[in-house]
Amino acid sequence: MMKKLVLALSAMALLATPLFAQTADELIEKNIKAHGGEKMKAMKSVRMTGSLKMGPIEAPFTISKVRPEKVRMEFTVQGMTGMQVYDGTTGWAVMPFMGKKDPEKLAGDQLDDIKEEADFDGPMVDYKAKGNKVESLGKVDVEGTPAYKLKLTLKNGNEQTVYLDADNYLEIKSEGKRKIQGQESETETVIGNYKEVDGVMFPTQIENHIKGREGAQTFTISKIEVNPTIDAASFAMPAAPKADEAPAKKQ
């Protein structure tokens, strides 16, 4: 008898959770709300500063974004700064570590990548307008934590699986499947340390793994500026070599 009563109670507990799986649109709406809703959508620009760690190696980085799709990402190793930039139409990069200081235009998968980074609110917000597809795959367990699983297929064909914490609807993990020069690569990203700045929830720690490989890159964001003034010129691809070399010409 006692056992039966306990069973009944557990059955009641089950009823308390919705019988029907939440649709992708409902989940995305809750996710947007969790991130700050209108406040997030009202944001025009953002700058995030922090540090990238790979084992003992550490590199400072800055990411600047301007709505709807401008981004500039910089990181510094041994005093040398690499950058990847998208100005809304053109993607370019400077990777000076082996001696090449000139900017290079990005194309193909690399361009797709930087464009994804540039999408100000991420691929789930207004996904239909952006040509992305979203599918709800139900409630799953992420390392012991219940989460909703959403599968995104981006317009460019790359796939992302996003896990939203079942309590607060924030992303806690994502898995990406993308083509790099036609090669498929799978990544796993752990997302956390959410903090509120001006009413918007930002993750401040993002840990990236390549699936099946040891080691991780961890981005720790120490400073977030909402709506900073960002010089529009900083997104434009420079035509000439960089400023460091200028004095030689003047003399």
Residues that bind other proteins (CB under 8 A): 2, 5-6, 8-9, 49-51, 53, 55-62, 76-81, 96-100, 141-145, 165, 168, 170, 172, 184, 190, 192-195, 197, 201, 204-205, 207, 212, 214-215, 218, 220, 222-224, 243, 246-248, 250-251
Is 61:52 a contact under the CB 8 Å cutoff?
A: yes
For the CB of residue 129, give the shortest distance to other proteins in the complex, in Å.
27
Identify which of residues 129 and 250 has a Cβ nearer to other proteins in the complex.
250
Q: Give yes or no for a contact between 12 and 6, defined as CB atoms under 8 angstroms apart.
A: no
Smallest distance, other proteins to C-beta of residue 5, A = 5
Nearer of residues 115 and 173 to other proteins, judged by Cβ: 173
Sign of CA dihedral 49, 107, 212, 139: positive
Residue closer to other proteins, measured from CB, 128 or 213:
213
Rounded to a whole number of angstroms, the minimum distance from the CB of residue 8 to other proteins is 8
CB count, 10 Å around CB of 46?
A: 22
Residues 6+ apart with CB under 8 A from 173: 142, 147, 162, 163, 188, 189, 190, 191
Q: How far is the CB of 164 from other proteins (least distance, A)?
A: 10
- The smaller minimum CB distance to other proteins, of residues 18 and 56, is found at 56
Residue 206 contacts residue 172 (beta carbons within 8 Å): no
CB of 68 to other proteins, least distance (A): 25
CB 118 within 8 A of CB 140: no
